[in-house]
Amino acid sequence: GSEVDVDPGVEIDEENAEDDLLGGLQIDSTDDIEVPDRLVDQVIGQDEARDIIIKAAKQRRHVMMIGSPGTGKSMLAKAMSQLLPQEDLQDVLVYHNPDDGNAPKVRTVPAGKGEQIIDAHKEEARKRNQMRSILMWIIIAIVIGYALLTANILLGILAAGIIWLIFRYTSRGTDAMVPNMIVDNGDQRQAPFEDATGAHAGALLGDVRHDPFQSGGMETPSHDRVEPGSIHKSNKGVLFVDEINTLDIRTQQKLMTAIQEGEFAITGQSERSSGAMVQTEPVPCDFVMIAAGNLDAMENMHPALRNRVKGYGYEVYMDDTIEDTPEMRRKYARFVAQEVERDGRLPHFTDDAVEELILEAKRRSGRKNHLTLHFRSLGGLVRVAGDIARAEDREHTTRDDVLQAKQRSRSIEQQLADDYIERRKDYELQVTEEAVEGRVNGLAVMGEDSGIMLPVMAEIAPAQGGGQVIATGKLQEMAEESVQNVSAIIKKFSDVDLSEKDIHIQFVQAGQQGVDGDSASITVATAVISALEDIPIDQSVAMTGSLSVRGDVLPVGGVTHKIEAAAKAGCDTVIIPKANEQDVMIEDEYEEMVEIIPCSNISEVLDVALEGEPKKDSLVDRLKQITGTALDRQQAV
Ligand code: ADP
C-alpha cells in the first residue's frame, strides 16, 4: 500500500499535514477512504517483510517470519497466496486400487477437471446400479411367478427377499468405482492458503479414517476414507504455520520430508485404527511454507527444518513500531477503513474517532515519534468501538465510542491492575498525606500495558556479620543491584559504612505476578538514602527510573502507563527520567492530575522527593557535587 487513495473530491492538505493527526487527510468519515483490493496493498508498515513476500511469491521460496503476534504475519502469508499464479492449480483424486485395497491410487488433474471425472464416474455407477436393479426385479419377478405357478407363495416371498438383500449389500462394490476428490480447486480463484497453526499430525499430513466395519459388505472402501492434510490442500499455494516450534519433532521431520519431496503419501495417523493399514500413492504437496513465531520459536524449531527454510528461502523480522509521519497517519486512517470493511457491519468512523485511534497507536508504541504496529489489538479496539455505535444504530462511530471501547477492551493485566489498585485503596495502602522516612512510591509495569504503583520501603539496621541487602520476594537480585549502584554515591557523601549495615528492602504487596522491577533502581536508592539520612520523603510523589553508578537517571520503559497509574493512585507529582520525556503520551484526563518532573540526576530526584529543610538542602548540595560530572572527575583521578 504505497499511498492512501481517497474518493475523488477528498483532498490531502499537504501544508498542515505535519501537525494534523490524520496527516492532512480531509475526510468526514472513513467511508471516504478507498480500500485497496489486494491484501498486500493493505499491509501497513513492515516494508521489508512485504518486499520479501512479493519476491518470494515470484520465486516460490519459503519464508520465515519472526515477530510479535498481531503484526501481520498471517496477513502477509494470505497476501502471498493472492500473488501466486492460479494457472497451476490442480485437483487430486484418490482411486480404489483393485490389486490392493489398502494402497489407493492417486491421480492429479488440472483444476476443475476433477469434478467432471467424478460426475462421469457417478453417472456410470448410476447406470450400473440401474441395470442391476432392473436385473434384480426381473429375477424377483421370475421367482415370484414360478412360486405362484407352483403355489408355493411363502417360499417365493422368502426367495425374493434373499435376492433383494444380496443385491442391496453387493451394491457397495459399484461405489468403489467413484474416486474420492481430496483436493478440489474447481472454484478456486486464487492459489490456496492453508493455516496449519496448531494442527495435529493428521490435520497437517493427512489421515485415513478408521472403518468400524472393515468387512462383511458394510465397509467403506479405503480410498473413500482418505483425508487430505494442510500440506496437500496447500499444493501450489501457501502453507502458513505460526508457532512452528509447537509442532512435535516427528511432525516437523515429516513436514521437512514433504518439503523436500514435493509429495507425501497419506496414511492413517492413529496406530490402532484400521486407517493405519492404508497408504496411498504419493499425493502432491508443492507448497510455499511461511513459518512464523517469536524469537523463541526459532530456537526450538527443528534445526534441519530451519536450515531448509534458510537455505531455500528468506528470513525476516517483523517490526513492532514505525516512525510517525503524516503519510503513515493517513495509512492508519485507511487501516480503520479496512477493518470496518472487513467486518462488514460496523459503522464507519468519524474523523475525530480516527484521530483518537491514531493517538492510541502513538501511545501504545511507547516510543517517541512512533506508532505501534500491533494491529490485531488495535483492530480489536476498532471492532469494540464500532459495536458500541452499532448497538445504538448510529450512522457513524464517534470519538466517544473509541474512548468507551478503550475502557472496555482493557487487557487482562490492566483489569488486574485496576482491581489491585481498588483493593489496595480499601486497605489505605496508597498515598498518605505526611512525609515518611524510607518509603517511596515506585512505579512498575504489569504485562505490556498496565502501570501499577509499587511502594518500596527501606530500613537500615546494624549488621550481625557483614552487611547484607535483604529483600522480600523475587526482587532480591534487583534490590542488590540498585543498592550496589547507589553505594558508590553513598560512600562519597556519607560517613556510614554500608558494609556494617543490613539494608532491608521491602516491596510492599509485590507478590504480584508479572511485576517488573527492573526500572525501580532510583526508587530503591531514594528509599535507602532517606532511611540512612533520616530525611522523610514526600508521599505524594511517585517515581520511575534506572540509576547508573554515577548517579545518572537512565531511561526506562512504559513511562506513560506508569504516570497514569500514579495519577490514578492519587499522586500529584511523578518523577521520570529526562530521556523519557518524549515518550509521555498520557491521556488528557490525567494531564491535569499530575505534574511530571523529568530528572537526569539522582540529586534532582532527591530535591523533588525529600522533605524537611535544611537537612535536605545540605544533602542535595553534597550530592550535586559528587555525582554526575563531579563524580567522573573524582573517579578519573
Ligand atoms: P500475526 O499473524 O502476526 O499474529 P495477523 O496477520 O493475524 O497477525 O493480524 C491480525 C489482523 O490485524 C489482520 O487480519 C489485520 O486485520 C490486522 N493487521 C495486522 N498487521 C497488519 C498490518 N501490518 N497492516 C494492516 N493490518 C494489519
The DSSP letter of residue 219 is: P
Confidence (pLDDT) at 500 = 82
Confidence (pLDDT) at 20 = 84
What is the distance between the alpha carbons of residues 528 and 486, in angstroms, rounded to a whole number?
A: 9
The DSSP letter of residue 555 is: P
Strands (E), 486-580: 501-507, 515-516, 536-537, 541-543, 546-547, 553-554, 573-577
pLDDT in tens, 225-250: 999 999 999 999 999 999 888 888 88
Q: How far is the CA of 232 from the centre of ligand 1 (A)?
A: 25
CA angle in degrees (0–180, nearest 5) for 403-376-194: 155
Helix (H, G, I), strand (E, B) or coil at 83: helix
The DSSP letter of residue 409 is: T
Q: Any catalytic annotation for residue 562?
A: yes
Pairing, β 439-446 against β 515-516: antiparallel
Ligand 1 in reach of 520 Cβ (< 6 A): no
Phi, psi angle pair for 607, to nearest 5°: -60, -40
Low-confidence ranges of the chain (pLDDT < 70): 1-10, 170-176, 214-218, 420-432, 447-448, 472-475, 509-519, 627-637
Phi, psi angle pair for 194, to nearest 5°: -120, 125
Q: Which of 254, 362, 562, 568 is catalytic?
A: 562
What atom of ligand 1 comes closest to residue 76's alpha carbon? 6
Q: How far is the CA of 73 from the centre of ligand 1 (A)?
A: 7
Separation of CA 69 from chain center:
2
Residue 362: what residue type? K
Separation of CA 38 from chain center:
23
Confidence (pLDDT) at 466 = 74
Task: Cell numbers for 461, please give them.
Answer: 539496621
What is the distance between the alpha carbons of residues 156 and 146, in angstroms, rounded to a whole number?
A: 8
Task: Give the Cβ contact number of residue 311 at 10 Å.
Answer: 8
Task: Give the Cβ contact number of residue 616 at 10 Å.
Answer: 19
3-state secondary structure 519-535: CCHHHHHHHHHHHHHCC
Confidence (pLDDT) at 631 = 44
Contact status, residue 67 vs residue 317, Cβ threshold 8 Å: yes
What is the distance between the alpha carbons of residues 567 and 430, in angstroms, rounded to a whole number?
A: 11
Ligand 1 in reach of 414 Cβ (< 6 A): no
CA angle in degrees (0–180, nearest 5) for 50-53-59: 145
Q: Can you tell me which residue has the cell 523436500?
A: 260
What is the distance between the alpha carbons of residues 4 and 8, in angstroms, rounded to a whole number?
A: 12
Q: Any catalytic annotation for residue 254?
A: no
What is the distance between the alpha carbons of residues 488 and 501, in angstroms, rounded to a whole number?
A: 15
Which residues, 6+ apart, have CB-to-CB distance to 622 below 8 Å? 493
